[in-house]
């Protein structure tokens, strides 16, 4: 028996080898059949019925690399493959030629549609023209009308946030709160704010016509009566732009001119109280603010009011510099992103202003993003008392990614938390000293003050409250945070979606 074992093993090995060879041949045949079906598809009934372009190099490449080798319909397809198939079918079958300009429009439109499906109003696409306009914004100098716009998330409308006095928009009668419905007869319903701004800007001396709707009073999500009247659900975010009364539209013709938006405004209030308004956070904000502080200190300033009301935010890097001017050490903000550990962005000592005077920060419902980072950092560090109204509540960070054709993708990449790890997204920053002020009453007071050149402290109720508290801080009769400081205990960290 011992002499038979090697022979049996040899016979068994040959049998296994035969089976493997047959299997390999069968597999190769299946591969060839599948390859043929995958690259050629089912044979058409007539050669003239086959759409032109299906056999193009791009189509063949997609067929070999992107499609399964099995017949169509038997396996799931990658949705991105369908996107390219739609383009190829349009190019082959559309009744008019698809030009290079059409190709660009189709591609950009598809990208915008893709981003819209994310349901995040802050993630958006900028074509090269929009991106160039965006970069001008960071410098604060451009040809335009002198108005600040925002996307109202409750209305899904482009709304005038602020009109800068002395500029073309103010001279033509545009007002804060106006809805921009059309620009030169082009509806803005489906436009990003960058696209609307790009349409409004243009050559100096040319005209632009804005068709606006001016509501009788501001419409917010907290006004169920008005929300019901315009067809909105007060408890749900809108999916379509809010309707308006077409009989009440106004056409405002504005002549474009050289516009310099004030980034930092400053003045000395009575009793040697310094006042600085930061209107945005761009590459000039820290430098201009530091120069304004130095000038006020040279004039004998005893305390400072820092006003970020109506400031929609801006550069994260710039607000870190501004916080570093007033805070010596510690985190400015925590960044929470998917699949990454919590990151603390620290105070940068090289931007320390060695500022030790009493400080008050003013916020309102339009103080957002970088403005809230500033207010939250100074509040958590007990460096300043926060006065005014609850802030907007935008605790999301966007990253601008330049693309190869000079367009750009603005994508929400993370959530930010205050130094004490408070998540303020949709919650906002609560002021230490609340000073409510109806927005329409404030706008009316501002219009009258501009017309009559009324000093700030004589008409601004919130500045009056900030000034009173600052005087108490200077005198040592009040502490930072006021009589009822906002709770700054750490909250649970936000749960980032993986």
> Of 152, 367, 394, 460, which one is the catalytic site residue?
394
CB 496 within 8 A of CB 490: no
Whole-number Å distance between alpha carbons of 479 and 184: 54
- Strand 343-346, strand 157-163: pairing: unpaired
Angle between helices 316-326 and 370-380 (to 10 degrees): 30
- Strand 303-307, strand 273-278: pairing: parallel
The DSSP annotation for 76-134 comes to ---HHHHHHHHHHHHHHH-SS---HHHHHHHHHHHHHHHHHTTT-TT-EEE-HHHHHHH
380 catalytically annotated: yes
> Of 194, 380, 432, 460, which one is the catalytic site residue?
380
Whole-number Å distance between alpha carbons of 464 and 80: 58
> Of 172, 192, 324, 369, which one is the catalytic site residue?
369
394 catalytically annotated: yes
- Residues in CB range of 32: below 8 A, 6 or more apart: none
Cα–Cα–Cα angle for 42, 47, 51, nearest 5°? 75
Token pair listed for 379: 């509040």
Helix (H, G, I), strand (E, B) or coil at 435: coil
Whole-number Å distance between alpha carbons of 344 and 172: 46
First to last CA, the chain: 65
Cα–Cα–Cα angle for 357, 358, 364, nearest 5°? 130
369 catalytically annotated: yes
Closest by CA to 211, choosing from 244, 171, 166, is 244
Closest by CA to 406, choosing from 133, 117, 102, is 133
Question: Which amino acids are annotated catalytic?
Answer: 369, 380, 394
């Amino acid at each position: 028996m011992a002499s038979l074992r090697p022979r049996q093993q040899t016979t068994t090995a040959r049998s296994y080898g035969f089976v493997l060879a047959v299997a390999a041949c069968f597999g190769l045949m299946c591969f060839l059949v599948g390859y043929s079906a995958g690259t050629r598809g089912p044979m058409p009934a007539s050669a003239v019925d086959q759409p032109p372009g299906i056999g193009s190099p791009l189509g063949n490449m997609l067929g070999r690399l992107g499609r399964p080798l099995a017949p169509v319909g038997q396996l799931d397809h990658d949705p991105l493959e369908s996107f390219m198939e739609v383009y190829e079918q349009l190019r082959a079958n559309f009744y008019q030629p698809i030009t290079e300009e059409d190709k660009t429009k189709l591609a950009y439109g598809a990208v915008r549609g893709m981003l819209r499906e994310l349901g995040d109003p802050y993630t958006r696409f900028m074509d090269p023209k929009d991106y160039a306009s965006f970069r001008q914004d960071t410098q604060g100098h451009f040809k335009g009308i002198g108005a600040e716009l925002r996307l109202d998330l409750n209305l899904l409308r482009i709304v005038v946030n602020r009109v800068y006095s002395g500029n073309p928009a103010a001279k033509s009668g545009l007002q804060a709160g106006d809805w921009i419905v059309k620009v030169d007869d082009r509806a803005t319903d489906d436009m990003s704010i960058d696209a609307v701004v790009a349409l409004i800007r243009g050559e100096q001396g040319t005209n632009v016509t804005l068709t606006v709707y001016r509501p009788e009073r501001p419409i917010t999500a907290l006004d169920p009566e008005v929300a019901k009247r315009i067809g909105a659900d007060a408890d749900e975010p809108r999916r379509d732009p809010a309707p308006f009364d077409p009989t009440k539209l106004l056409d405002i013709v504005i002549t474009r001119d050289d516009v310099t938006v004030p980034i930092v405004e400053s003045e000395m209030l009575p009793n040697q109280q310094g006042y600085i308004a930061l209107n945005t956070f761009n590459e000039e904000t820290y430098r201009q603010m530091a120069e304004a502080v130095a000038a006020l200190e040279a004039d004998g300033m005893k305390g400072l009011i820092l006003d970020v009301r109506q400031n929609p935010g801006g550069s994260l890097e710039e607000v870190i510099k501004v916080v570093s001017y007033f805070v010596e050490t510690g985190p400015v903000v925590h960044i929470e992103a998917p699949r990454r550990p919590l990151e603390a962005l620290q105070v940068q000592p090289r931007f320390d202003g060695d500022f030790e005077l009493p400080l008050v920060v003013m916020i309102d419902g339009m103080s957002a993003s970088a403005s809230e980072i500033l207010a939250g950092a100074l509040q958590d560090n007990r460096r300043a008392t926060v006065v005014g109204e609850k802030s907007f509540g935008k605790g999301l960070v966007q990253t601008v990614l330049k693309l190869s054709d000079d367009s750009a993708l603005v994508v929400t990449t993370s959530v930010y938390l205050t130094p004490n790890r408070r998540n303020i997204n949709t919650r906002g920053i609560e002021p230490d000293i609340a000073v409510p002020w109806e927005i329409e009453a404030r706008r009316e007071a501002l219009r009258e003050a501009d017309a009559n050149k009324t000093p700030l402290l004589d008409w601004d109720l919130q500045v009056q409250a900030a000034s009173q508290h600052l005087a108490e801080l200077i005198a040592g009769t009040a502490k930072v945070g006021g009589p009822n400081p906002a709770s700054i205990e750490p909250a649970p960290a936000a749960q980032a979606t993986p």
